[in-house]
A and B are shown apart, each in its own frame.
Chain A
Amino acid sequence: MAQTLGGLLELHADRVRARRWKATDVDLGTVMEKLREQEMALREHDAEDQDHPHPRNCVLNLVVGLKDQHRTTACDTMVGKLAAAHPLRAILVRLHADEGPSRLDAEITTEAHQLLHGFPVQREQILLHVRGEAGQHLASLVGPLLVPDVPTYLWWSGREHLDEGKVRDALRFTDVLIVESLHFDRPAAGLLELAELVADPDAPVGVSDFRWARLWPWRDAISQFFAPAGRLALLRGLREVEISAAGTDPDSRAGAALLAGWLANALGWRVRDVREADGGGAAGGTQAVAGVEGADPVRLGLRSVANERLDRGDLLSVRLAGRSGRRSYSLVVQRHPEGERHVHVTIEMDDAPPLRQRLPLPEIAESDLLTHALWSGRRDRVFAGALRGARPLLEALAS
């Protein structure tokens, strides 16, 4: 997530005008007809005979795959907030597990937001409860509901692997797939699947990963250290990279591998000699060697450290150390041991006294991550590069 000077504002409730419709066991044609009716009703609301109807704004389709009612409710609230900044058509698909005959229940919410003049329609949301075999054919349900000529984002918040049939089917109508790889059942394997998806720069589907966005403060701290022109030369002398993450199994090091992959790709390193080291007890590690051909190698170390407070895979610390000529340096970025919202940065240069700073580690809400994903472009070259760089590490973790 790129840093920004500003933040997102909330739309006041008295500036929202809404219409709702709900039905059980309906067909898609009826849903589409009701959607049109509601939209027209809002557009013509308050418009006198001689006035123009309010406009309808739409910059994207957002399709969300949901597995439980709790997530469905949370998502409904989130999309409501999003619509103010991104006028959209949202299609929330709640997939029910039952095996019975196909059945469709639907709820439609249409909202107009008061802008300077008038109430343009900003949000059209269709919540589909899908039961039975129809759940395996999302494209047939969602495709007809999409607004043409605007990009379609698929937020897949479930834990299924991407190669499962329903996800593959959904990718047919998707321009950008949004995932949270931290929640994958097998994160390393999941990241490898994402790497496969984005490997081709001309691939039709872009990918956005919340975990990658959450790595931004760590990337920022590292990048800032090397930003002064006088310190760029230090990059060539980097000899050690150690990254630790919360967890006890190889998959807990998937995020650490992604960060290492980012460094490797940005600095043109080839990662080799990857081996799993047994840390004993609740911890483990991955060792590798990286670097450019003909230069001194960089030792890469990924460690898992048991931690009760954090999610599996959350980063705990990053240490970079190296030499440039006779100068030695190290940068340590460490999560605050008590709280979670700050990191301690320690910089040591030669024999000078260490510089210690405390930097905010913002708690990035899911809604902000989603907003960022929608705001960003369809292709994230740096993420694709990080996945490419991390591939040897991820393969070792997934095996």
Chain B
Amino acid sequence: MTAATAANPLAEGMSEYRSADPALMVIFGATGDLSGRKLLPALYNLARNRLLPAGFALVGAALDDISEDRFRELASQHIREHSRTQPVDDETLEAFVQDLSYLRLDFDDAEGFKRLGERLAELDGARHTGGNVVFYCATPPATYKTISDQLRQAGLTRNDGYRRIIVEKPFGSDLKSAQELTRVLRRAFHEDSIYRIDHYLGKETVQNILAFRFANSIFEPIWNCQHVDHVQITVAEPLGVEQRGPYYERAGALRDIVQNHALQLLTLVAMEPPVSLDAGSTRDEKVKVLRAIRPLSPDEVCLQTVRAQYGDGWVMGEKVQAYRREPRVAPDSRTETFAALKCQVDNWRWSETPFYIRTGKRLPKQVTEIRVQFKRPPHLTFGREATRELESNAITLRIQPEEGISLRFGAKVPTAGMVIRSVNMDFLYASSFLVDAPDAYERLLLDCMLGDPTLFTRSDEVEAAWTLIDCIENVWRQGDAPPLETYEAGAWGPPGADRLLAEDGRKWHRP
């Protein structure tokens, strides 16, 4: 909620009311996949729900030599195909595409950016947008520097209104390149105006972690090392690398998932309650967690991390081939498609409570979840036989696909004797609310126009995460330890992943 809406006496009582100041948006790479599949449908759905600011207009900018009408036509097609809400409302769509325009733009061409400036000035005058513009880089990371510099040189980064830029992950490939990206963007934009988007954080269920932890008084008192034995974070997908071979060859599972998604989930589970849910407070607490994670020494990397690559196998009833035989992947590739690691968060709350992370491709199913495993009772009154099937209490926060929360606890089996067994109490997000949750991009695009960066990643977060990942990457790239294992596609990873927990007397939960 922005200060502007809080001061508007007519906004009172509209509990979900979020009204952004009038603004224009420019999408660089407007004819690309991200724009067509995600951004344009998200903007359409915002229009459908009357959440776009008054006077909103969009300028699509890309290399393709197409007419404005053709761009509108393509936009309509994409929206019809990919909109979250179906069927598409024809009248809303028609009104929405009328507010789209297109500019052919070569990112190396300074004249093109001047033309963009003229177009924005013209639209600003006609639509009373007060000089507010959001620039969205739906382009490969390598172009961010050029676009940012061109915008600066064309004088488009400063105005009476706000000028914000959105860039997509990955934010660099290591600490050094992340710092360089920040330096380049800051030449043109203030840090407050740089929105690093990780769509994962826009998911309702990720945000629900905060609600679960901080809106309920019964969990927080036990959310610490006194009661929690360990935490498992799993980000699994059954897909292989598909057409992303060249990118994945450079990234690997550690950079692709652990550096951002998995560590973000860890921070949300481990962070202290923020003073408020404003952007600064929440991100401050997340950074504190990242800084409290003990960086692994080279010896610890060998003992506490696992890397592996999938071989041939069967996933969800289909035979799939090994990573090294995927298209555009080197036949002798040493890129990991599975990573597991053990982290220690060195602070008062989590001292000696390990956080285990695993992620991989070609795992049995798509699942993202956090399992908080509690300690066993100090004494089991009912005896060994009665509690043979009783497991420790656990809370599982499921992010996808069936978003929800499960609580596992012991209950007496209804027989004459005293037999205690684990039962689950499930809260299923969709079945409980039957709400068609908004797409993460809808939330994040609106947040950016509102000037609310809470769900975007700040530069210090990015850098703290890279600091941890670089410690591991440096060891992995230099030698053979830990060994690059192979796992059968369709399995839950290599034997080393099981050993990682078994050595601590624990085992992975089967999602």
Interface residues of A (CB under 8 A from B): 2-11, 49-50, 52, 84-85, 113, 115-117, 216-217, 219-220, 222-230, 232, 235, 263, 266-267, 339, 341-342, 345, 347, 349, 352-353, 355, 357-360, 380-383
Contact = CB atoms under 8 A, between A and B. Distances in A.
Main secondary structure of the interface of A (DSSP, over half): mixed
Contact of B14 (A223, A342, A355): A223
Nearest to B95: A358
B438 A6 contact: yes
A85 B11 CA distance: 27
B169 interface: no
Contacts of A224: 19, 50, 53-54
Contacts of A7: 85, 435-436
A360 B85 CA distance: 15
Contacts of A353: 126
Contacts of B11: 223, 227
B406 to A, nearest CB: 8
Contact of A115 (B9, B22, B48, B431): B431
A220 B15 CA distance: 12
Given A5-B442, A232-B4, A355 B127 contact: yes
B420 to A, nearest CB: 12
B5 interface: yes
Contacts of B431: 11, 84, 113, 115-116
A360 B414 contact: no
Contacts of A341: 91
Interface in B188-226: none
A2 B50 contact: no
Contacts, number: 147
B99 to A, nearest CB: 9
A4 B10 contact: no
| Residue in B4, B434, B437 with the greatest tally of chain A CB atoms within 10 Å | B434
Nearest to B23: A228
A10 B126 contact: no
A12 to B, nearest CB: 11
Interface stretch (B275-283, B422-430, B484-492): B422-430
B50 A359 contact: yes
Given A4-B16, A225-B54, A266-B10, A360 B89 contact: yes
B478 interface: no
B436 A355 contact: no
Given A226-B8, A345-B54, 4 more contacts: A9-B436, A217-B50, A353-B126, A357-B54
Interface of B: 3-5, 7-17, 19-22, 45, 47-51, 53-55, 85, 89, 91-92, 95, 125-128, 130, 402, 404, 406, 411, 413-415, 423-424, 426, 428, 430-438, 442-443, 446
Contacts of B13: 380-383
Contacts of B95: 342, 357-358
Given A228-B4, A267-B9, A341-B91, A223 B430 contact: no
Given A7-B85, A85-B434, A228 B130 contact: yes
B411 A52 contact: yes
B3 A3 contact: no
| Residue in A222, A232, A357 with the greatest tally of chain B CB atoms within 10 Å | A357
Nearest to B15: A2
A231 to B, nearest CB: 9
Contacts of A358: 91, 95
A50 B415 contact: yes
Given A3-B17, A50-B414, A85-B432, A352 B4 contact: no
A219 B14 contact: yes
Contacts of B16: 2-5
Contact of B55 (A216, A217, A357): A357
A50 B414 CA distance: 6
Nearest to B51: A3
Contacts of B406: 116
16 contacts: A3-B50, A5-B49, A9-B436, A49-B415, A85-B434, A116-B406, A117-B424, A216-B14, A217-B50, A224-B53, A226-B8, A227-B5, A342-B91, A357-B55, A358-B91, A381-B13
A266 B14 CA distance: 13
Contacts of A381: 12-13
Contacts of A3: 14, 16-17, 49-51
